Amino acid sequence: MTHSAPAPDAPETPTTYAGFVAIVGKPNVGKSTLLNAFLGTKVAPTSPRPQTTRRDVRGIYTLGERQIIFIDTPGVHKPKDALGKYMNHEVHSALADVDAVIWVVDLRHPPTDEDSLVAHQIRDLPKPLLLVGNKTDAAKYPDEAMRLYRALLEGRREDLETSETMLSAQNNTNAVATLREQVLEGLPENPFFFPQGSASDQTREMWAAEIVREEAMKKLRDELPYAVATRVTRWTEREDGLQRIEGEIVVEKNAHKGMVIGAGGKQLREIGQAARKQLEVFLDRKVYLGLEVIVIPGWREDEEALRELGYE
């Protein structure tokens, strides 16, 4: 038997560290804002409306030998329909496989039942847990609120790693960077899961459709934002760089169609313009965005339609 010694000048493979970190919390606390702040770019939709995030979005941050895959989850809430159930399931499955959990709470208000629901899901997980008190910029009694949120974790085993911080995901770049640093330090030894340059695991079509949905959710009133889905059906690139994107806004009822389009098409035009502006900023290219409103009756309760719209 012969032994071949490694060539003396073979380059040493550096040790890498990588892991998955779930960002959880009830709707509207600022999870997607925090994810975008961690990455310094926009991968997840945000809006003043609760339940903007519907599927798990992965945001990838790589620095030197370390890679974090953040999983932004839909807000945990009491589900009203099949879409709601799907959203809660997304949270549950995200938690099963992660290396650490970031729990975001809104310090402007004391905890509600929905926060207790989240706390209940994560309290006994044998993984490092970071409690992030968000929106300090707008909170009147941040310390008191933080104490109440902390109390929801009472009973968590002492030997499990738990830490906390208060910040504003929207305005506090330094605090966000410090938190990211802390997550980087805690990563387990692993090969990278994604190529170094990638920021997200979404296709560009999914990403653009989410931006259209974000703008639609901001503009529409009452229950309508929740009855809307979006998808990109065609994306072509012209030789001069113009991105031609065609998409659909899907509603549940004929009556909703007119409400999305608005008088003389005004509302649809505004949604399209706002989405196009965002797309142009993030793509750094000129964008043509064509939107059509279509009806898929009762899509939120229709498993097949949900799958077709990418909620699977």
Residue with tokens 């979006």: 230
Q: Report, in Å, the least distance between residue 250 CB and ligand GTP.
A: 19
CB atoms closer than 10 angstroms to residue 254: 9
Position among 32, 202, 267, 278 found at the interface with ligand GTP (CB under 6 A): 32
Q: Report, in Å, the least distance between residue 81 CB and ligand GTP.
A: 16
Distance separating alpha carbons of residues 69 and 192, to the nearest angstrom: 10
DSSP assignment string, 205-229: HHHHHHHHHHHHHHH--TTGGGG-E
Q: Is residue 88 a contact point for ligand GTP (CB under 6 A)?
A: no
The radius of gyration of the chain from alpha carbons, rounded to an integer in Å, stands at: 21
Position among 22, 24, 30, 202 found at the interface with ligand GTP (CB under 6 A): 30
* Residue 155, annotated as binding a ligand: no
Interacting span for ligand GTP (CB under 6 A) from 49-57, 176-184, 192-200, 275-283: 49-57
Distance separating alpha carbons of residues 56 and 73, to the nearest angstrom: 5
Range list of H helices, 127-185: 142-151, 173-185
Q: Report, in Å, the least distance between residue 99 CB and ligand GTP.
A: 21
Q: Is residue 170 a contact point for ligand GTP (CB under 6 A)?
A: yes
Q: Is residue 27 a contact point for ligand GTP (CB under 6 A)?
A: yes
Strands 129-134 and 243-251: what pairing?
Answer: unpaired
Q: Is 264 left (phi over 0), alpha (psi -120 to 50) or beta?
A: left
Binders of ligand GTP among residues 117 to 146 (CB under 6 A) are 134-135, 137-138
* Residue 136, annotated as binding a ligand: yes
* Residue 73, annotated as binding a ligand: yes
Q: Is 192 helix (H, G, I), strand (E, B) or coil?
A: coil
Give the number of C-alpha atoms closer than 13 A to the C-alpha of residue 102, restricted to the C-beta side: 30
Binders of ligand GTP among residues 181 to 220 (CB under 6 A) are none
Interacting span for ligand GTP (CB under 6 A) from 22-30, 146-154, 201-209, 304-312: 22-30
Q: Which residues of 268-279 are buried (b: 16+ CB within 10 A; e: fewer)?
A: beebbebbbebb
Q: Is residue 51 a contact point for ligand GTP (CB under 6 A)?
A: yes
Q: Report, in Å, the least distance between residue 279 CB and ligand GTP.
A: 18
Interacting span for ligand GTP (CB under 6 A) from 28-36, 148-156, 202-210, 296-304: 28-36
Q: Report, in Å, the least distance between residue 218 CB and ligand GTP.
A: 9
Residue ranges at the known binding site for GTP = 25-32, 72-76, 134-137
